[in-house]
Structure 1
Amino acid sequence: MRSMLPALLLLISALLPRSVLAQASYATTFLPANFQAFAIDEAGRVAGRGTDPNGNALAFVWTAGNIAFLPAPTADGQTLVANALGSGAAAGAWLSGGSMRGFVYVNGASQDTGTLYGGDTVAWGVNAAGQAVGESLDADGNSRAFLYSGAGIVDLGTLGGATAQARGINNAGTVVGGAQPGPDFPNDGAHAFLYSGGVMTDLGTLGGGFSWANAVNEAGQVAGYSLLAGDTGFHPFLYSGGVMLDLGSLGGDYAEARALNEAGLVVGLASLPGFGFSHAFLYADGSLQDLNLLAEGLGDFTLTEAVGINGQGQIIANGCNDFGFCAPVLLTPVPEPAQFILILAGLLPLSRRLLRATKRE
């Protein structure tokens, strides 16, 4: 009977996918060519900018292979891009009479966010309640951060300077982005901020004169990027518990976090030493990992940026090859957790029986 134990181990090794035995890997699903993705939701839907059969550039939502182009708030307008996707809501920008406006798409219809001071407006983030955040130009051409909640649009203020831009919002209404700091930081272009309860808080930097927040999860963790001390390069950060953690790089001097999920996994883009495409990255288990080394079936295609990650670990990225073919790519973890659990559920009782039989010998 003891001779059956090695055979059992070999059977388990054969049944478990390579990604479980070694490092995590991802199956790839290519979206249409020349589309660009910007967000993914918990259901695996993808939003971004694409081209309809008539050659119009429109905001889209992709669901399991099906493309839906989003309508503008008015019949004579045209959506341009969907920058964000929540549970049942999307947000982005649309064109109205030569002016750019923000929109929120919810319950099958698009709503105009309005503007703060009459200037061009873009929505960058949305939550499940249909609240949207973004930026709107004032009369002097300065960007101002806004919050739209269906009943109107409000200015979130700044960190003391003239400009601010909101980039993300969670379901609790916590907003993040970047804002020009006040006179205490005269040479700093912007600092990452967190807005909650009517108060905008400066999150600081990684030592340099710039930082920016792109996303916030339900736990209040924030992902973004910052200049390092001496302004020697940009690194992505994860802000959690009052501490801004430097996530490192892929060897180049620029890296930026674009999104994170509820588990604190972070995705973005990072340059490599020398020249060439940036590479999409995943920050997990304390290290920055090149997604091109984890994704299957890419061939000569390079994932240049990862822009979203959901609670299932699915990642949406954009990329190109050397011949100009560009497309979004959906990365799905392999094996799926349910498959792994089913495999173990079937093998563990067998292994127990074999072990008991071995002990009786």
Structure 2
Amino acid sequence: MNTRITSFAALLGSALLALSSTPASAAYSVSLLAPIALDQNSYGNVIGANGVMLGESYVKQDCPVSQWVGCLVEGYTSRQPRSVWWPAQGGAPTMLPCLSKAVSTSASWDKPCEAHAINNRGVMVGRSYVPKGAFDIGVHPVLWLSPGSAPVDLSAQLQGLPSYLSARAVGINEQGWIIGRAQIDNRQNEYAFLLRDGLATVLPSAGALSVKARAINTTMAVGDGQYERGGQSGVIVWTLGGPTTTLRTVDGGENDVHAEAISSAGHVAGFYWAPASKQGNRAYTWYQGRAQALPTDAGYSSVAYGVNAAGQVVGSHCRTDQDIHGCRAVVWTNGVRQDLNVLATPPAGYTFVQAKAVNDQGQITGWMVSAANVYRGFALIPKP
């Protein structure tokens, strides 16, 4: 069911949240992503080409008497994270509907459905829970044509794939091709699949024991491959209809490499861990066969979450001896790291701590936190 903020107080609150809070000298104007309810948190995770955003907020819930067994088995909480769509530059959110409302309470520890990606036409893909027996739930890949539309279950289009326990869609490109993940067994082993024009095929594993698909553009896709049981991972880059490339090291050492995003031009961004450095995660970018570690200060870890066609990378830069309050949302431009708290002015009492995505217009989404641990999603819009 589509849920919107309808009370006068909530509408006024969301309007105030959308006001720019950045002085004229800053590089970005700031819009806040209103939560479903003003006393709940919100987080920005994905930004589309036209500035619409996906993320999550929390909703309050009760456990109906009819579902008390599920609440008891899965654990019941009064707050549940839900996937949310916001219009460009903020505004009132729309909560995405799921395949089944019946599982939402018993799955209170997790989102009953989740959107992972959106293409230029506004089509979203993700996953949704469905009932599976009396005390279990299944995970199906889904597609939303618009924020208020019911999700389309894509399971029927995957019938030609090898058997799997659960599946999800994680990316969609402008042609409508979908990349996804299928879990094979209870040991979390997976394979990556491509759903193209109604035909599902398995993507090459490049020698990996398990493959987790991450993202797709018009000609390429990217994922993680686990090459040892419980050990090293590497990045797999698929050229759709062409060769497959792997990235096993960034700095020439024994690295554990992961991908988070791929740009429309083919840049890959993510993070790696080098045991010799003992520094934690470090952000990197890869383009046309060349990997580059991104500047990370001593005593800090970093992760690159998003990248655009210009090679601009966004992510986080965190003190290794602190919690989330020691993190700063950052942007790397031409390899130079800048703190987004300097390029834009967060609302009083807040700090931008995570930058999760950037589109080809340079618009950024992520989330910030206050000293009182209140979380809010944000959109940063480059000033002319």
TM range, normalised to the smaller chain?
0.7 to 0.9
Aligned equivalent of 1:70, options 96, 105, 108? 96
The DSSP-based 3-state class of the residue aligned with 2:276 is helix
* Aligned residues of 1:93 and 1:121 also touching (Cα < 8 A): yes
CA contact (8 A) 1:92 1:122 kept: yes
In the TM superposition, 1:1-361 aligns within 5 A as: 17-19=24-26, 24-32=27-35, 33-52=40-59, 57-64=81-88, 65-73=91-99, 79-87=112-120, 88-97=122-131, 98-106=137-145, 108-114=149-155, 116=161, 117-139=163-185, 141=187, 142-149=189-196, 151-172=198-219, 174-181=220-227, 188-196=231-239, 197=241, 199-206=243-250, 207-228=253-274, 230-233=276-279, 234-272=281-319, 274-277=321-324, 278-333=327-382, 335=383, 337=384
TM-score with structure 1 length normalisation? 0.78
The amino acid across from 1:63 in the alignment is P
Q: Which has the larger radius of gyration?
A: 1
* Greater share of residues in helix: 1
Structure 1 residue 231: Cα displacement: 4.9
- Residues of 2 paired with 1:59 and 1:105: CA distance? 12
Q: Give the direction of change, closer, same or farther, for the CA distance of 1:229–1:26 in structure 2 (3 Å limit).
A: farther
Structure 1 stretch displaced more, 40-49 or 247-256? 247-256
- Between the aligned partners of 1:25 and 1:167, the Cα distance in structure 2 is 28
Sequence identity, in percent? 25
Tell me, in whole angstroms, the C-alpha distance in 2 between the residues paired with 1:134 and 1:260: 20
Change (3 A) 1:273 1:163: closer
1:136-186, CA deviations, whole angstroms, 9 ceiling, x for partnerless residues? Answer: 2103531222222351433213231310111110022x110110237xxx8
Q: Is the 8 A contact 1:158 1:200 kept in 2?
A: no
CA distance in 2, matches of 1:331, 1:292: 11
Mapped to 2, the partners of 1:250 and 1:50 lie a distance apart of 32
Deviation at 1:190, TM superposition (A): 0.7
* SS at 1:18 equivalent: coil
Structure 1 residues 228 and 152 mapped into 2: Cα distance closer, same or farther (>3 Å)?
same
Identify if the C-alpha distance between structure 1 residues 300 and 216 changes in structure 2 by more than 3 Å, giving closer, same or farther.
same
Aligned length: 312
RMSD of aligned C-alpha atoms?
A: 2.6
Where does the alignment leave 5 or more consecutive residues of structure 1 unmatched?
Answer: 1-15, 338-361
Compared with structure 1, are the counterparts of its residues 165 and 284 closer, same or farther at alpha carbon in structure 2 (3 Å cutoff)? same
| One-letter amino acid matched to 1:110 | P
Deviation at 1:57, TM superposition (A): 4.0
Q: What residue in structure 2 maps to residue 348 of structure 1?
A: none
CA distance in 2, matches of 1:152, 1:109: 22
Q: Aligned equivalents of 2:283 and 2:177: distance in 1?
A: 26
Using the TM superposition, give the Cα deviation of residue 39 of structure 1 relative to its aligned residue in structure 2, in angstroms: 0.3
Shift in alpha-carbon separation, 1:51–1:285, aligned structure 2, 3 A: same
Conserved 8 A contact 1:38-1:308: yes
1:322, CA displacement in angstroms? 2.3
CA shift digits 1:284-327 (9 cap, x unpaired): 14311222222213322122211111122111011221212112
What CA deviation, in whole Å up to 9, does each residue of 1:40-67 have, x standing for no partner? Answer: 0111111122345766643221114132
Question: What is the letter of the counterpart of residue 178 of structure 1?
Answer: D
* 2:153 aligned partner, one-letter code: D
